[in-house]
Structure 1
């Protein structure tokens, strides 16, 4: 497999170097930083079973080009180097070593995937290189005492599972539940949260079906889950499988209460391909604004987001959840690097990442980014949503995703 690399320097996307007005000419640096450059590494799946995640890297590269076009960060341009791991943990290890030991990046930013990041967490911490804003909702990213060089980004999966459990217990007491889950750390985290939330009612789960990411289809899994007689179906799935589960449930004429994990709730890559008519009433959670929602038409956040896409990525689907996600996480890294000033050491990157009180564009009202030296979970709020027509509608109060230790 050919490894794909996105490097702003290689692609010729950098504006001519030159310090912005007022920028410091000298600073304190670790490998990957200088008076003129900040080298940022990234790893995600441009190929393989979850290649739809590759759009995140495209958005990040485009956003950093925008920052460079505007003069960079304190006069320094971002050199963004992104490698493909095909969602394969051994390949992730290889690419992490390449970025740290060969490319000598200052940090690895938003590496995407729960099992893939688990495979490099010890390595990154042994090297004391930031594994910053991990693209995955495992609780293991929020462990500053054990892994001080790793920080997550989005609300965690166990908490989302507990939120789903609370909703089921309230809206459908006595339910019989069937669960489809990705058979790795990602799916198991969601499943643990669901069971913890159900508590003494965890026996309501009539069947659990784990699937492998490499499976071409999960149709047979859905057939078995339907045969359990469940009247609630929870689909814990990334986009391809999420769309397959929606289509198969509709094809079978099964009419359960359908709960879909937020990682598979993209309008652009899941709901539209699966068919809006098949997805009506599905329940999920969100923390990002949906650009297709008319209520955000005149919203300043959305106007800036759409202007960015129009100039830098006119060919992407703005309704793809991962497009919005890439935009938000890129803004957050820029905030961290701005706070670093001219102390561009790896230790200071983590200090500044652990000192955030920030609200990037496109977060839902009530959702914020806050961190501290003892809190490596930047986002802690979610909103419940229900699909109506061709968009998600929020309902209920803001739900906390804080995990009690």
Structure 2
């Protein structure tokens, strides 16, 4: 009897060992370059210098947020190693930095690289290498193209959807408008311009009376503003980055041109654009938002913004709290952490993209109420909602409803 019992015990132990071994095999950790038991290596490319340097604060905020995550134990026990390089908003430099991150630093992915021309320069490379180019910091519509570019995904609302919303507002409120447009002469500016013309439809040809494009190498856009005023336009659609948006606002005031002024959302930061331009010169400008404005008193007791301010107090005390780009960096970094958490121990590049394309109604503290992040295998546009806002006093005031605008890739 004792012999039978001992054999049963041995058999049971063997079965238990077999089950443990099998489940261990099933739960085996999977890694691509950039991921280990202790680390997740994330690459980033930002314009810390050059004409778009006001966006550099986004990278600094992301570094601070990842420092917070690491201090709290990391992601599933792994610390984030955030490697961020400067490209000066110069596409050839972006290519150089992307190659360095992928081939030398061997990052798992490149996260939130900034700008349409820089990201356009590396999009094919990233997709050939099958390295995620994730949550790019640009609203160009082409980032939502999972069929042709399955390794590239945007994050913010598309530029075309934004200007289509402005076009709808103009058609309703000023149907006889004479529109002047300033735009950056690259994919970024042209994408915005296309959305405006698509939104105006058949009336675009008659309503747009002047177009002026500028190069980022120009020291000033004053002459363009003078030309646009001379067209007799009573609506001004400003599709420029913060440096030139601030110049446009100042020049408008100087030459006393007072059209209905629309400012693209990527330049709506109080700290980066409006304050340098002067609050008096910027009154009643219309823009759009999907993030909470840190200068807006209505969010003073908001739970999400309280957490944001507590984060800044501890991890980024030198941040300019009036700068909307700080909220942007904080919120997109939260999205990245969410994706990596859902990857679990399967930290392959393929699974990173799979999790990024499987986000269901993610609500984050920096997003406006009613706006959520959603993605799918066929929809790489995480945020597709906006709300109009008007500058009054020293802050933006939201008005109207949350507007959904879906524009395909």
Name the TM-score, length of structure 2 as normaliser: 0.92
Instruction: Choose between structure 1 and 2: higher helix proportion.
Output: 2
Residues 1:121 and 2:128 are matched in the alignment: no
User: Is the CA contact (8 Å cut-off) linking 1:181 and 1:210 kept in structure 2?
Assistant: yes
Which one has a bigger Cα radius of gyration?
2
Summarize the alignment of residues 243-258 of structure 1 with structure 2, pairs less than 5 Å apart.
Answer: 243-258=246-261
Residue 379 of structure 1: which of 370, 383, 394 is its match?
A: 383
Tell me, what secondary structure is at the counterpart of 1:49?
Answer: coil
Q: Structure 2 CA distance, aligned partners of 1:71 and 1:353?
A: 22
Q: What's 1:312 paired with?
A: 315
Listed one character per residue, the Cα deviations across residues 78-106 of structure 1 (whole Å, up to 9, x for unaligned) are 00000011000001001000000000000
Q: Secondary structure at 1:151's aligned position in 2? A: coil
Partner of 1:260: 263
Instruction: Find out whether 1:235 has 2:238 as its counterpart.
Output: yes
Give 1:187's aligned residue.
189
CA deviations on 1:199-223 (whole Å, 9 max, x unpaired) are 1110210011000011111000000
Q: Secondary structure at the match of 1:369?
A: coil
Distance 2:63 2:217 in 1: 28
Q: Deviations over 1:386-405 (max 9, x none)?
A: 01111111111111121157
1:301 to 290, 299, 304: 304
Query: What RMSD, in angstroms, separates the aligned Cα atoms of the two structures?
Result: 1.2
Q: Please report how far the alpha carbon of residue 26 of structure 1 lies from its aligned counterpart in structure 2 after TM superposition.
A: 6.3
CA distance in 2, matches of 1:291, 1:53: 16
- Alignment pair present for 1:359 and 2:363: yes
The residue that corresponds to 1:5 in the other structure is none
Change (3 A) 1:97 1:404: closer
How far off is 1:31 after superposition?
A: 0.3
Task: Give the 3-state SS of the residue equivalent to 2:389 in structure 1.
Answer: strand
**Partner SS for 1:209:** strand
| Structure 1 alignment gaps of length 5 or more | 1-24
Whole-angstrom CA distance in 2 between matches of 1:237 and 1:366: 28
* Inter-partner Cα distance in structure 1 for 2:113 and 2:171: 35
What is the alpha-carbon distance in structure 2 between the residues aligned to residue 205 and residue 354 of structure 1?
Answer: 38
Q: Say which of 146, 150, 154 aligns to 1:152.
A: 154
* 1:37 equivalent in alignment to 2:7: no
Aligned match of 1:108: 110
* Contact kept in structure 2, 1:27 and 1:34, CA below 8 Å: no
Distance (whole Å) between structure 2 residues aligned to residue 123 and residue 184 of structure 1: 20
- 1:361 shift after superposition: 1.5
Q: 2:401 matched to which residue of 1?
A: 397
Q: Give 2:30's aligned residue.
A: 28
Work out whether residues 239 and 264 of structure 2, in 8 Å CA contact, stay in contact via their aligned partners in 1.
yes
SS in structure 1 at match of 2:225: helix
Residue 130 of structure 2 is aligned to residue 131 of structure 1: no
Deviation of 1:319 after TM superposition, in Å, equals 1.5
Q: Distance in 2 between matches of 1:52 and 1:177?
A: 28
Q: Which runs of 4+ in 1 moved over 6 A?
A: none
- Quote how far apart the aligned CAs of 1:238 are: 1.0
Alpha-carbon spacing, 1:80–1:404, altered in 2? closer, same or farther (3 Å): closer
Secondary structure of the 1:292 match is: coil
- Tell me if structure 1 keeps the 8 A contact 2:141–2:408: no
Instruction: Find the aligned partners of 1:82 and 1:118 in 2 and give their Cα distance.
Output: 18
Partner Cα separation in structure 2 for residue 26 and residue 359 of structure 1: 31
Question: Which residue in 1 is equivalent to 2:208?
Answer: 205
Residues 283 and 384, structure 1, Cα contact 8 Å, conserved in 2: yes
Of stretches 290-299 and 346-355 in structure 1, the one that deviates more from structure 2 is 290-299
Q: How many residues align?
A: 382
Asked whether the equivalents of residues 179 and 208 of structure 2 are also in contact (C-alpha less than 8 Å), the reply is yes
* Conserved 8 A contact 2:294-2:324: no
TM-score, reference length from structure 1: 0.93
